[in-house]
Structure 1
Amino acid sequence: LTRSPREESGGMMSGTLESLSGIGEDGSSIGSDSEINGLAVRRTDKYGFLGGTQYSEGSDKDIRVDVARQREMKWLDMFNNWDKWVSRRFQKVKLRCRKGIPSSLRAKAWQLLSNSKELLDSNPGRFEELEREPGDPKWLDIIEKDLHRQFPFHEMFAARGGHGQQDLFRVLKAYTVYRPEEGYCQAQAPVAAVLLMHMPAEHAFWCLVQICETYLPGYYSAGLEAIQLDGEIFFSLLRRVCPMAYRHLKKFKIDPILYMTEWFMCVFSRTLPWASVLRVWDMFFCEGVKIVFRVGLVLLKQMLGSVEKLREVQGMYETMERLRNIPPDSIREDLLVQEVVSLAVTEALIERECTIQVRKWRESRGELTHQPGRRLNGTRAIHEHKRRASAISSGGSFSFLGSIPPPGPLRASSSLLVKWEMLPYSTGAWAGG
């Protein structure tokens, strides 16, 4: 691990690797890195949370053991013939992702769905090479300052300098070396942290690469053009899906960038109860950004979609407070997934709206630096892109996306932190973890 000057002088990353101090009878941890911070010993929930807003009280509805085993066997069968399933029976893959990926197989499923497994296999030793590079001190310092803000109530990230924070530093630093023209964006940290809860650092790195460059290209680049453009697309879709919520937000001049930035850039990892986060990510890896749009639209529909609900938020301040603090009861896992799956917002509709908004952007603001056409909508699109690229390659070694720089110019990222911190919604949220 390459250390910045701040680390050498005994900074945050100088902590040693800490091990869990015990395992409870039910398999949950008792005690953890969090004890170093002086927190009382507490049994974690089944996701590893020791407390905080995403701690799960009691047990969520448990699937019967025989049903769980049956689902695992189906997924293992798909793993053994993955390309065939994606090319010939993708609807079944999609249905199984919507039902929820078995927790024991989630890491491997995410890597196959995103094609990061192929990136990992075709770039042996690359992650270690990136780690050995010194990195830009400007980014390393910012990354260090952000480490303790990521899921501070999760056993993996509770200790300053603990194993979770060390791995998070490794992954984020490696990305700045891998894509120096993009550098680091604060919203990448919670995304990388979610991945690290499920897989080793090297695997998490390649998964992060796919999210940043294939699923959400431009989201973490300077200027935040991609997220602003998606904000315009989102607001236009809201007008169609829930006119009442649309009119309310328009009346109080609440711009999409004020509330959907964290939702989209962090893929709801800081917004929803954890069981819902995992279900959303399962669908997101399979179906792409369409799921992110749908979840956001469902949330607004739930919170601002009726006369009764609007009576509770009769001003800009009250509305923003509601959007920042979504009541867990209104977004229960099964209800949320059911609403997301049934919402009639298709890839074609999003693409059509994207074309309209790009034209409006060019008319009012000039040419985009970001290229919307780079986005691939989930597993099937990635698989098709890979197949076409293989067909036109000359038969030599071909590393899908791993050795190809992203198309189109990208701005230098030095202004990114300033741009991000200027967003009103982000200031409090990032400080609190």
Structure 2
Amino acid sequence: MPEAETTAAIAEEVDAFGFTIRPDEAAAAGQGKGSGKRDRRHTKKHLQTVRQREIKWRKMLDLNNFRGGQSRAQVEGLQHEKFRSRSFKGIPDSIRGEAWRAQLVDMDAEQYPTDAELNDAWERFEDLMPAEDTPLYSSFEVIDKDLHRTFPNHEYFRLAALPEQAALQGQAHSSNPNAKTIISGQVEMRGLLRAFAHQHPVPGYCQGMGMIAGLLLMYALRNDAYRMFCSLIRKEKYLLDMFAEGLPRVQLFTGALDWLLQKKLPDVGDHLMGEGLMAVIYGVDWFMCNFAKTLPWTTVLRIWDRYLVDGYYVSFVAAFEIVRLLRPQLLASNDMQQHMTLLRNLPIEVTSESVLIPAMDKSKLRYEDVAAALEANGYKPMPDLPEPRFKPPKPAPTIVQAASAPTQAEPVTSAEADAGAPGAPVRVAVQPTSDSPKHVAAASDENQGLRVVDVDDALPGTASALQPARSTESIISKSESLDLGPSDWV
């Protein structure tokens, strides 16, 4: 990136959530994407209110972690309504990550990998190179393509890196000759999505998952974000089957929205259907990303606070109210192209937190209505999927080779090895994988140079157990120096 362009990128103003503030958003008093009511958020009264709510949330989250000696059943029964009502009012931003984790992970944390397991595995996922003809390779390719278009206006995921971030930079998939440099947030997103695709071959990776992963990484460290992401994808009340092959739940939900509009807003529903403008044309991102790609950020967060409590019902209420608020504009003409543009580029007058959230609070759409719409479109309840046992990639085998080693192993007789002549080759064995019961030992002396041999269940230093090498071999000569000490025993 040219220096002037980089400087300009650094100088851009960002809002309280890390999103770049465009000039039109600043002029609109922070009502654009990624912004809230900037003046109100900095008033003393507002900050005092937020602080009081933070204290209440902290006490409630402590109780939900069973620190008061109450049972899980007591906590779930007594605290659910309080948790729900406070979530609907909006979770303080400083508490949001913990509150979301409490909803998604804490109650069944034993199903997920531990921090120790994940910390040990991230580098392996980064280095993993699956065979080119496998679904996993295809998933990794699509992940790398999507990185740079996922939250490109957020400072954590932006392509232009500050100089001090250089140490955190990684490289995109090495098989792609046009791969771009990726920065710290993208590295974490890439690792999370790679890990999920590896651990969950079905559904693997699907476009749209990056928006969910990015949202979670803004509010949680990567280990927690990974566990939260897995919970969302495997639970029926959230995104189960949303990313399955053929997108069956996307089709189900958009069909149910069409049904609701025709039943509850018949003038608008019939008008849109008469134009052939079904919800599957404009509403896919609404349901797949739960509006993370569509609405102003403060509105997105308020919807997600509710979504993690009540599940997909909240998505239907938001979608229904958006169409209801657009009713006058939709009925004003029969121009399908104009209506499609309107529904895909929602105006801020409808989507701002101060408009859409109160509309959702007053919505006449009930859970029973959503259930009827889903049933009319062939919905059948599904059980939550169990989280598979965590199996990270195995470490790559370590191969001991000299730079001048020939490509093919040559036979080495015992007479040649015992001759002690300068340059006489000796066997060097490749380290077995972690599945092998064998250990590898190195032995050397003044005459023989370095020799690496397999040892069946032998402890380092047990010379009597040394056996001729039986694994894949390469050749080095005695005249070449390789220094292996006790620390090189494996």
Cα pair distance change 1:373/1:349, threshold 3 Å: farther
Kindly name which structure, 1 or 2, has the bigger radius of gyration based on alpha carbons.
2
The answer on whether the counterparts of 2:268 and 2:330 sit within 8 Å (CA) in structure 1 is: no
Cα displacement (A) at 1:128: 4.4
Cα displacement (A) at 1:288: 0.6
Q: Is 1:352 aligned to 2:372, yes or no? A: yes
The answer on whether the counterparts of 1:37 and 1:158 sit within 8 Å (CA) in structure 2 is: no
Percent identity between matched residues is 26
The amino acid that maps onto 1:339 is: A
The answer on whether the counterparts of 1:123 and 1:402 sit within 8 Å (CA) in structure 2 is: no
1:65 corresponds, among 47, 55, 61, to: 47
Cα displacement (A) at 1:287: 1.0
The amino acid that maps onto 1:139 is: S
Question: Residue 414 of structure 2 aligns with which residue?
Answer: none
Question: Residue 161 of structure 1 aligns with which residue?
Answer: 182
Moved more, 124-133 or 289-298: 124-133
Cα displacement (A) at 1:39: 2.2
Question: Residue 319 of structure 1 aligns with which residue?
Answer: 339
Q: Deviations over 1:170-194 (max 9, x none)?
A: 1111110111121111110111111
Cα displacement (A) at 1:345: 2.9
Q: Is 1:46 aligned to 2:1, yes or no? A: no
Question: Residue 203 of structure 2 aligns with which residue?
Answer: 182
Question: Residue 201 of structure 1 aligns with which residue?
Answer: 222
Cα displacement (A) at 1:122: 4.9
Q: Deviations over 1:357-416 (max 9, x none)?
A: 117xxxxxxxxxxx64236xxxxxxxxxxxxxxxxxxxxxxxx943489xxxxxxxxxxx
2:243 corresponds, among 220, 234, 247, to: 220
What is the DSSP-based 3-state SS (H/G/I as helix, E as strand, rest coil) of the residue aligned with 2:219? coil
Cα displacement (A) at 1:242: 1.8
CA-atom RMSD in angstroms: 2.6
Question: Residue 257 of structure 1 aligns with which residue?
Answer: 280
Query: TM-score normalized by structure 2?
Result: 0.64
What is the DSSP-based 3-state SS (H/G/I as helix, E as strand, rest coil) of the residue aligned with 1:156? coil
Alignment of 1:20-419 (within 5 A): 36=6, 39-51=9-21, 54-56=33-35, 59=38, 61-62=40-41, 64-82=46-64, 83=72, 84-115=74-105, 118-119=108-109, 122-124=112-114, 125-128=116-119, 131=122, 132-133=124-125, 134=128, 136-159=136-159, 160-214=181-235, 215-303=238-326, 305-306=327-328, 309-311=330-332, 313-358=333-378, 372-374=381-383, 401-403=386-388
Give the distance between the partners of 2:260 and 2:302, measured in 1 at CA: 23
Q: Name stretches of at least 5 consecutive residues in structure 2 with no aligned partner.
A: 23-31, 65-71, 131-135, 160-180, 391-490
Cα displacement (A) at 1:115: 2.8
The amino acid that maps onto 2:97 is: A
The answer on whether the counterparts of 2:90 and 2:302 sit within 8 Å (CA) in structure 1 is: yes
Compare the two structures and name the one with the higher strand fraction. 2
Cα displacement (A) at 1:270: 1.2
The answer on whether the counterparts of 1:119 and 1:402 sit within 8 Å (CA) in structure 2 is: no
What is the DSSP-based 3-state SS (H/G/I as helix, E as strand, rest coil) of the residue aligned with 2:150? coil
Q: Name stretches of at least 5 consecutive residues in structure 1 with no aligned partner.
A: 1-33, 360-370, 376-399, 406-433
Compare the two structures and name the one with the higher helix fraction. 1
Query: TM-score normalized by structure 1?
Result: 0.71
Cα pair distance change 1:166/1:86, threshold 3 Å: same
Give the distance between the partners of 1:401 and 1:75, measured in 2 at CA: 30
